[in-house]
Protein backbone atom coordinates (compact mmCIF):
# COMPACT_ATOMS: atom_id res chain seq x y z
CA UNK A 1 0.00 0.00 0.00
CA UNK A 2 1.11 3.54 -0.70
CA UNK A 3 0.58 6.05 2.12
CA UNK A 4 0.54 9.75 1.20
CA UNK A 5 0.82 12.21 4.11
CA UNK A 6 0.04 15.87 3.50
CA UNK A 7 1.59 17.82 6.37
CA UNK A 8 3.46 21.01 7.22
CA UNK A 9 5.93 18.88 9.21
CA UNK A 10 7.09 15.98 7.02
CA UNK A 11 10.45 15.64 8.77
CA UNK A 12 8.77 15.19 12.14
CA UNK A 13 6.63 12.36 10.76
CA UNK A 14 9.47 10.79 8.77
CA UNK A 15 11.47 10.25 11.95
CA UNK A 16 8.80 7.79 13.05
CA UNK A 17 7.98 6.10 9.74
CA UNK A 18 11.63 5.50 8.83
CA UNK A 19 12.30 3.62 12.09
CA UNK A 20 11.61 0.08 13.29
CA UNK A 21 9.16 -2.19 11.49
CA UNK A 22 7.76 0.62 9.33
CA UNK A 23 11.26 1.48 8.16
CA UNK A 24 12.02 -2.12 7.26
CA UNK A 25 8.70 -2.50 5.46
CA UNK A 26 9.73 0.29 3.09
CA UNK A 27 12.99 -1.37 2.07
CA UNK A 28 13.75 -3.85 -0.68
CA UNK A 29 15.86 -6.71 0.62
CA UNK A 30 17.44 -9.87 -0.73
CA UNK A 31 16.44 -13.18 0.78
CA UNK A 32 18.24 -16.48 0.52
CA UNK A 33 19.85 -17.01 -2.84
CA UNK A 34 19.16 -14.19 -5.27
CA UNK A 35 15.49 -13.72 -4.41
CA UNK A 36 14.55 -10.08 -3.91
CA UNK A 37 11.69 -9.16 -1.61
CA UNK A 38 9.87 -5.99 -2.57
CA UNK A 39 8.73 -3.21 -0.30
CA UNK A 40 5.57 -3.91 1.64
CA UNK A 41 4.60 -0.25 1.97
CA UNK A 42 5.58 3.10 0.48
CA UNK A 43 5.31 6.37 2.45
CA UNK A 44 5.42 9.71 0.64
CA UNK A 45 5.19 13.23 2.07
CA UNK A 46 3.78 16.44 0.61
CA UNK A 47 4.31 19.83 2.26
CA UNK A 48 1.55 22.31 1.29
CA UNK A 49 4.21 25.05 1.34
CA UNK A 50 5.66 23.48 -1.81
CA UNK A 51 2.35 24.02 -3.60
CA UNK A 52 1.64 27.67 -2.85
CA UNK A 53 2.28 30.67 -5.12
CA UNK A 54 2.90 32.93 -2.12
CA UNK A 55 6.50 34.11 -2.14
CA UNK A 56 6.72 33.67 1.62
CA UNK A 57 5.33 30.10 1.40
CA UNK A 58 2.32 31.15 3.46
CA UNK A 59 -0.49 28.58 3.44
CA UNK A 60 -2.89 29.94 6.07
CA UNK A 61 -5.26 32.90 6.35
CA UNK A 62 -7.86 34.34 8.69
CA UNK A 63 -11.30 32.71 8.60
CA UNK A 64 -14.14 34.33 6.68
CA UNK A 65 -16.84 35.57 9.03
CA UNK A 66 -14.34 36.20 11.80
CA UNK A 67 -13.20 34.00 14.62
CA UNK A 68 -9.94 33.03 16.32
CA UNK A 69 -6.78 31.68 14.77
CA UNK A 70 -5.84 30.87 11.21
CA UNK A 71 -7.17 28.35 8.69
CA UNK A 72 -5.16 26.27 6.23
CA UNK A 73 -5.99 27.33 2.69
CA UNK A 74 -7.61 24.89 0.31
CA UNK A 75 -5.53 25.36 -2.83
CA UNK A 76 -2.10 24.22 -1.54
CA UNK A 77 -3.67 21.10 -0.05
CA UNK A 78 -5.66 20.32 -3.19
CA UNK A 79 -2.54 20.74 -5.31
CA UNK A 80 -0.61 18.44 -2.98
CA UNK A 81 -3.37 15.84 -3.26
CA UNK A 82 -3.33 16.18 -7.04
CA UNK A 83 0.42 15.57 -7.03
CA UNK A 84 -0.02 12.51 -4.81
CA UNK A 85 -2.95 10.66 -6.34
CA UNK A 86 -4.86 12.97 -8.66
CA UNK A 87 -3.66 11.21 -11.78
CA UNK A 88 -4.35 7.67 -10.59
CA UNK A 89 -6.59 5.95 -13.14
CA UNK A 90 -8.64 3.97 -10.64
CA UNK A 91 -9.81 6.44 -8.03
CA UNK A 92 -11.80 3.67 -6.33
CA UNK A 93 -8.43 2.44 -5.04
CA UNK A 94 -7.76 5.83 -3.40
CA UNK A 95 -9.07 6.83 0.04
CA UNK A 96 -8.60 10.29 1.50
CA UNK A 97 -8.85 11.03 5.21
CA UNK A 98 -8.74 14.39 6.98
CA UNK A 99 -7.59 14.29 10.58
CA UNK A 100 -10.25 16.08 12.64
CA UNK A 101 -11.54 15.89 16.24
CA UNK A 102 -15.04 16.23 14.74
CA UNK A 103 -14.64 13.18 12.51
CA UNK A 104 -15.81 9.58 12.71
CA UNK A 105 -14.01 7.65 15.43
CA UNK A 106 -11.24 5.46 14.03
CA UNK A 107 -11.71 1.70 14.56
CA UNK A 108 -9.97 -1.58 13.79
CA UNK A 109 -12.97 -2.61 11.68
CA UNK A 110 -12.33 0.30 9.33
CA UNK A 111 -8.73 -0.80 8.92
CA UNK A 112 -9.71 -4.32 7.94
CA UNK A 113 -12.21 -2.98 5.41
CA UNK A 114 -9.48 -0.92 3.72
CA UNK A 115 -6.64 -3.46 3.48
CA UNK A 116 -6.79 -5.31 0.19
CA UNK A 117 -9.35 -2.91 -1.28
CA UNK A 118 -7.46 0.36 -1.49
CA UNK A 119 -3.96 0.93 -2.81
CA UNK A 120 -3.45 4.59 -1.89
CA UNK A 121 -4.32 6.08 1.51
CA UNK A 122 -4.06 9.87 1.71
CA UNK A 123 -3.79 11.30 5.23
CA UNK A 124 -4.26 15.08 5.49
CA UNK A 125 -2.89 16.53 8.73
CA UNK A 126 -4.25 19.95 9.58
CA UNK A 127 -2.97 22.64 11.92
CA UNK A 128 -4.20 25.87 13.49
CA UNK A 129 -8.02 26.21 13.52
CA UNK A 130 -8.47 23.60 10.82
CA UNK A 131 -8.64 23.22 7.05
CA UNK A 132 -10.79 25.15 4.58
CA UNK A 133 -13.98 23.07 4.31
CA UNK A 134 -13.77 23.08 0.52
CA UNK A 135 -10.95 20.50 0.72
CA UNK A 136 -13.36 17.91 2.12
CA UNK A 137 -16.02 18.89 -0.40
CA UNK A 138 -13.74 18.83 -3.44
CA UNK A 139 -12.05 15.53 -2.58
CA UNK A 140 -15.01 13.69 -1.12
CA UNK A 141 -12.74 13.10 1.86
CA UNK A 142 -13.75 11.58 5.18
CA UNK A 143 -13.00 13.30 8.48
CA UNK A 144 -11.64 10.88 11.05
CA UNK A 145 -10.81 11.21 14.74
CA UNK A 146 -8.87 9.19 17.29
CA UNK A 147 -11.22 10.22 20.09
CA UNK A 148 -12.89 13.01 22.00
CA UNK A 149 -9.84 15.25 22.46
CA UNK A 150 -7.96 17.95 20.56
CA UNK A 151 -4.27 17.95 19.56
CA UNK A 152 -2.01 20.68 18.19
CA UNK A 153 -2.21 19.11 14.75
CA UNK A 154 -3.12 16.06 12.71
CA UNK A 155 0.33 14.50 12.47
CA UNK A 156 -0.01 12.15 15.43
CA UNK A 157 -3.42 10.81 14.31
CA UNK A 158 -2.05 10.34 10.78
CA UNK A 159 0.87 8.30 12.13
CA UNK A 160 -1.43 6.22 14.33
CA UNK A 161 -3.63 5.38 11.34
CA UNK A 162 -0.62 4.58 9.16
CA UNK A 163 0.82 2.33 11.88
CA UNK A 164 -2.47 0.52 12.42
CA UNK A 165 -3.12 -0.05 8.71
CA UNK A 166 0.47 -1.04 7.88
CA UNK A 167 0.58 -3.83 10.46
CA UNK A 168 -2.41 -5.47 8.77
CA UNK A 169 -0.63 -5.65 5.41
CA UNK A 170 0.70 -9.18 4.74
CA UNK A 171 4.43 -9.46 5.28
CA UNK A 172 4.90 -6.29 7.33
CA UNK A 173 4.97 -8.19 10.63
CA UNK A 174 6.37 -11.36 9.09
CA UNK A 175 3.75 -13.86 10.28
CA UNK A 176 -0.01 -13.86 10.82
CA UNK A 177 0.52 -14.99 14.41
CA UNK A 178 2.19 -11.68 15.19
CA UNK A 179 -1.18 -9.93 14.98
CA UNK A 180 -2.20 -9.83 18.65
CA UNK A 181 -5.88 -9.28 17.87
CA UNK A 182 -6.03 -12.47 15.78
CA UNK A 183 -4.68 -14.94 18.32
CA UNK A 184 -5.76 -16.22 21.70
CA UNK A 185 -4.20 -13.96 24.30
CA UNK A 186 -5.16 -12.43 27.60
CA UNK A 187 -2.95 -9.43 27.07
CA UNK A 188 -1.10 -10.53 30.23
CA UNK A 189 2.39 -11.79 29.38
CA UNK A 190 5.60 -12.68 31.23
CA UNK A 191 9.24 -13.36 30.38
CA UNK A 192 12.52 -14.16 32.16
CA UNK A 193 13.39 -14.19 35.01
CA UNK A 194 10.78 -16.30 36.81
CA UNK A 195 10.98 -14.13 39.94
CA UNK A 196 11.68 -10.42 40.46
CA UNK A 197 11.78 -8.29 43.59
CA UNK A 198 10.60 -4.69 43.75
CA UNK A 199 10.48 -2.62 46.94
CA UNK A 200 10.85 -5.74 49.05
CA UNK A 201 7.98 -7.65 47.40
CA UNK A 202 8.46 -10.75 45.23
CA UNK A 203 6.61 -11.14 41.96
CA UNK A 204 6.42 -14.58 40.34
CA UNK A 205 5.51 -15.90 36.91
CA UNK A 206 2.27 -17.98 37.27
CA UNK A 207 3.14 -21.63 37.73
CA UNK A 208 0.87 -22.75 34.88
CA UNK A 209 3.06 -20.93 32.36
CA UNK A 210 6.14 -22.85 33.47
CA UNK A 211 4.76 -26.39 33.17
CA UNK A 212 4.65 -26.73 29.39
CA UNK A 213 1.04 -27.99 29.27
CA UNK A 214 -0.34 -25.97 26.34
CA UNK A 215 -3.97 -26.90 27.01
CA UNK A 216 -3.72 -25.59 30.55
CA UNK A 217 -1.91 -22.50 29.34
CA UNK A 218 -4.60 -21.71 26.76
CA UNK A 219 -7.30 -22.30 29.35
CA UNK A 220 -5.53 -19.94 31.75
CA UNK A 221 -5.28 -17.28 29.05
CA UNK A 222 -8.95 -17.67 28.22
CA UNK A 223 -9.92 -16.92 31.83
CA UNK A 224 -7.93 -13.72 32.07
SS3 string, the chain, reads CEEEEECCCHHHHHHHHCCHHHHHHCCCEECCCCCEECCCCEEEEECHHHHCCCCCCCCEECCCCCCCCCEECHHHHHHHHHHHHHCCCCHHHEEEEEEEEEEEECCHHHHHHHECCECEEEEECCCCCCECCHHHHHHCCEEEECCCCCCCCCHHHHHHHHHHHHCCCCCCCCCHHHCHHHCCCCCCCCCCCCEEEECCEEEECCHHHHCCCHHHHHHHHHHC
Listed range (5-19, 104-118, 142-156, 208-222) with the worst mean pLDDT: 208-222
Task: Write down the domain spans for the chain.
Answer: 2-178, 184-223
Look up the pTM and report it: 0.89
Per-residue pLDDT tens over the stretch 78-133: 999 999 999 999 999 999 999 999 999 999 999 999 999 999 999 999 998 899 99
- 2-178: which CATH number, 3.40.1280.10, 3.40.50.1010, 3.40.50.300, 3.40.190.10? 3.40.1280.10
Per-residue pLDDT tens over the stretch 199-221: 999 999 999 999 999 999 988 88
Amino acid sequence: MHFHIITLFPDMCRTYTDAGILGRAQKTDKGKGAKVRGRKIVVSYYDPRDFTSDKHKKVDARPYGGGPGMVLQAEPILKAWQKAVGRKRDQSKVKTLIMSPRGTTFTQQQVKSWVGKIEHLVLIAGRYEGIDARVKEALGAEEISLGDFVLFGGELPALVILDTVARQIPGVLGTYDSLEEERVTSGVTYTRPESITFKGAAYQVPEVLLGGDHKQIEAWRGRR
